[in-house]
Amino acid sequence: MTRRRSPTAWGWAAAGRARARPSGPTPPRAGARPVRDPVAIVAAGVVTPIGQDLDAFWSSLLTGGAGITRIERFPVADLGVGLGGEIKKLPPAPRRAPECRASRLLLAAASELSVGGGALLARDPARLAVVVGTALGGVEEGERALAGATGLRTLAGALYDSPARNLARGLGASSSGTGWPTSSSPAATTSSAASSCGGSTSSAP
């Protein structure tokens, strides 16, 4: 792109003329390895406001079940919205359940994999790993640390006590945990699934 700078009433502005981009697919970044192996979904687990297992979730989808109710987890009197998709009851916790509520929900969903994909898990566990797509999280844990007045160091750590880290820590205690390597993909909202399948960014043994 060819640029020049010109003065304006608010300061300097950059103007330019973009060169024509070549047609065709965008070349991969330097050092990036394209994903060539196909991805297959052989089992699934869900914990949602319209069903806390796969059968209940699918049945609610087919029958038009509604999961939007009055929010009960926190006060909403001073908020403009009092409705939300809320999971009212946490599933039973594993032996060493993490404190993070979102991680407990993830562990409950992961435990369904031992039922839906039991044959795969038993056949070749050495080829399996856990990939978690999640954003930062940790707000609830940060508020808990702040209420406990345990110091700024604890508060800062709690803000990063995200579902990804808690899930990796607690997966060995779940019914499907076998000490697999775990990898987290800190992507925003719905892009986490695509990022997790296409190549995650950080890993922990």
At 28 the pLDDT is 55
CA–CA dist 128, 138 (Å, integer): 27
Q: Coil, helix or strand for 127?
A: helix
pLDDT greater than 50 at residue 203: no
3-state secondary structure of 81: coil
- What is the model's pLDDT at position 157? 52
Residue-wise over 123-157: b if at least 16 C-beta within 10 A, else e?
eeeeeeebbbbbeebbebbbebbeeeeeeeebbee
The pTM (predicted TM-score) of the whole model is 0.49
Share of the chain above pLDDT 90, in %: 5
Dump pLDDT digits (tens) for 79-138: 888 899 888 877 665 555 556 666 667 667 766 665 555 565 666 666 666 666 655 555
Tell me what pLDDT residue 12 has: 42
What is the structure's pLDDT at 109? 72
* pLDDT for the residue numbered 80: 86
Domains and CATH numbers, the chain: 43-115+128-204 (3.40.47.10)
Q: 172, 184, 65: which is closest to 110 by C-alpha?
A: 172
pLDDT given for residue 63 in this prediction:
94
In the predicted structure, residue 194 carries a pLDDT above the cut 50: yes
pLDDT grade for 60, boundaries at 50, 70 and 90: very high
pLDDT at 75: 85
Q: What is the pLDDT of residues 148-180, one digit of tens each?
A: 655 555 555 554 555 555 554 544 444 344 455
Residue 72 exposure: Cα atoms within 13 Å on the Cβ side: 8
pLDDT mean over 9-21: 43
